[in-house]
Chains A and B, each alone.
Chain A
């Protein structure tokens, strides 16, 4: 990857300094330069960076950092705190109008992901808030944009209001709201055409729609990969329409997403949701703290833990722990565990959330092949009950049978058996280490700071 995390780069700078025993002002200057470059590389707007650096410098030169034993880590902590604060508190609430329907307008540049986000938002409203939204296709310009929304509506089995490409978007919006009242929809989601913020005619059209339908929310949809220009775009849309919130899309890519920070800092509007994947249920609440970690390239432990909590059955987890402790962990348990991990999402995504994982030797550039997991699964499923409970009974003919049954070969079966034994050993060691710390079943083996 082209970018090393800020953490790595700072560590290198710090290494040069540690021999000195004391951090001088010159050292701080050097450090802030590294921070500045890292933030710029993450696409944070340069004006925002400038202000940030100023504040960080003040805090870093002050006692807070100088007197701490680990100035490098202290600096990163200061930076992260500043970033988190800049991005503001968590705000994923959606307005509810006293007089239904509540009207939400989606605006943004071409290709930001407005139509897809409209579909995802409708899904979220129905699933999480039990609402019944009406989707409105006001993008009469891009070829097949209406068809796109209709297809999404079809996938969600939700009604889509459209009047073809000949109608005026303002009229469509007006008629849609009448229709929503008639059919008792409590939310109306208006998808608008993508437009450049410098295109005054099209921007006027948005203002016209806004004045007519008086929306309760106007969401600016922004591509997380946007560079320095994010600020100009957000500012123009905000000036013209006074948006109520921002939705960041394509955050499942490997962009560091500095645009998020820039937008919040310049417009003061919070980022409410983040698009995390291509599927319609992958719109999530935006977490400023996690975003700060991401911008700094520090991993995302919180999301990882949350995912684990959401997908792992607590009772099962306890049982598993007990088995680990007593080393009675069997292949059946292994299968269970695998299916739980799989529920949490693709393995590379999980790995990316672990801080420092990209630095670990061996893990670097590892692309998890989900197919290999399927092989493992097949091998275990080809074992008899007895073999799963007690792998020590395994002999050449059993192995041959398993390999045949699972479509693999004996050496693959051997490898799995060996790995399993090693895993068991490791578990025993780990549980021994944790003895004496009762009540603390889960401990991070590493500290992000």
Chain B
């Protein structure tokens, strides 16, 4: 069975049609340019030679995959091509997607990375990231989903800096029908989170989602503030925060790697939320982060609606990237 067929049958098997349709639709723009360009490349080159690799390199870089990761990938491809004695570019296509999936999966097999929610007691999720990536919106969507799953949810308005941030979270709280713990604008975020934990404990809440102000990762003082917030959570509940989610904008380029590194240093990021993937951005940076940092992607934002925040699924993601190719293969 070819690799594509395997991937496709996997979807059928697990009855994931619905999920993959969402990915397919959300990543339409991404896919068109990405797989379109790989197809175009393969059509133009009959033979696998240096020029072919150079152009492939370009296609991948345009997807924001990142120079280092691309270099690794191309090296591996070269090796594979030699080993399997591949001369025809059509065959390379399969190897390319194979390698891409390999990077996505990393070392943790093929499991979907679920949110680490305790079966009993309070789970605290801290959400961090630079300005304007969609932290508050992602929290709103997450709250909506967790509530739909039957969990009791509470939100902590830890962004006390940006104008209107608290109100924004309150509106999301109203929409999802969950309580929001807040203080005045300009108050100490650690204090807000402290209050929220007390409130969540006394009201037997399952999940507390903590919003924080956006901050650029090179602002040392602001990063220290974030570390303090985390310390407060750790002190109040042993083992918490159960998740630290770094929200990344899919349009971000190589700086996302710096973000992942610095935020991890300050708060031990456990997962990534990749937002705004429904534009033309390819989110290739996910590959780079996976390759260099080994932080799993847990959610992807594929649209504006609450249910458009999807659990990340590498299979579905790659299916989204290569949907055109898959269908072509199935027909032939």
Contacts and interface: CB of A to CB of B under 8 A. Distances in A.
Interface of A: 1-3, 37, 40-43, 45-46, 109-113, 115, 142-152, 155, 196-198, 223, 225-230, 232-233, 250, 252-256, 258-259, 278, 348, 367, 370
Nearest to A235: B280
A152 B163 CA distance: 7
Nearest to B58: A46
Contacts of B164: 115, 144-151
Contact of A110 (B66, B134, B254): B134
A120 to B, nearest CB: 12
Given A2-B257, A148-B164, A348 B252 contact: no
A109 B253 contact: no
B216 A229 contact: no
Interface stretch (B116-124, B125-133, B324-332): B125-133
Contact of A256 (B163, B171, B254): B254
Given A196-B276, A226-B252, A144 B130 contact: no
Interface in B162-184: 162-168, 170-172
Contact of A1 (B29, B63, B258): B258
A111 B134 contact: yes
A117 to B, nearest CB: 11
Contact of A255 (B29, B219, B255, B285): B255
B313 interface: no
A43 B130 CA distance: 18
A250 B259 CA distance: 13
B33 to A, nearest CB: 8
Contact of B131 (A46, A111, A145, A228): A111
A150 B253 CA distance: 32
Interface in B49-72: 58, 61-64, 66-67
B279 A148 contact: no
Interface string B243-276: 0000001011111111001000000000000001
A62 to B, nearest CB: 24
B60 to A, nearest CB: 10
Given A148-B163, A227-B64, A227-B253, A198 B280 contact: yes
Given A111-B131, A233-B280, 8 more contacts: A111-B249, A146-B164, A149-B163, A228-B62, A228-B63, A229-B282, A254-B217, A259-B253
23 contacts: A3-B254, A42-B254, A45-B62, A111-B134, A113-B131, A142-B168, A143-B168, A144-B166, A147-B164, A148-B162, A149-B164, A197-B279, A197-B280, A223-B251, A225-B255, A229-B281, A250-B216, A253-B216, A253-B217, A254-B255, A254-B258, A259-B253, A370-B221
Nearest first, the 3 closest Cβ-Cβ pairs linking A and B are A227-B253, A148-B164, A111-B132
Given A143-B171, A144-B167, A228-B61, A252 B132 contact: no
Mostly, the A contact residues are loop
A348 B264 CA distance: 21
B11 interface: no
B114 interface: no
A41 B70 CA distance: 11
Nearest to A252: B216
Nearest to A146: B164
Contacts of A348: 218, 220
B167 A43 contact: no
A278 B161 contact: yes
A254 B262 CA distance: 11
A205 to B, nearest CB: 14
B67 to A, nearest CB: 5
Given A41-B254, A227-B281, A250 B130 contact: yes
Contacts of B161: 278
Contacts of B131: 111, 113, 250, 278
Contacts of A256: 254-255
B278 interface: yes
Interface in B192-218: 216-218
Contacts of B171: 143-144
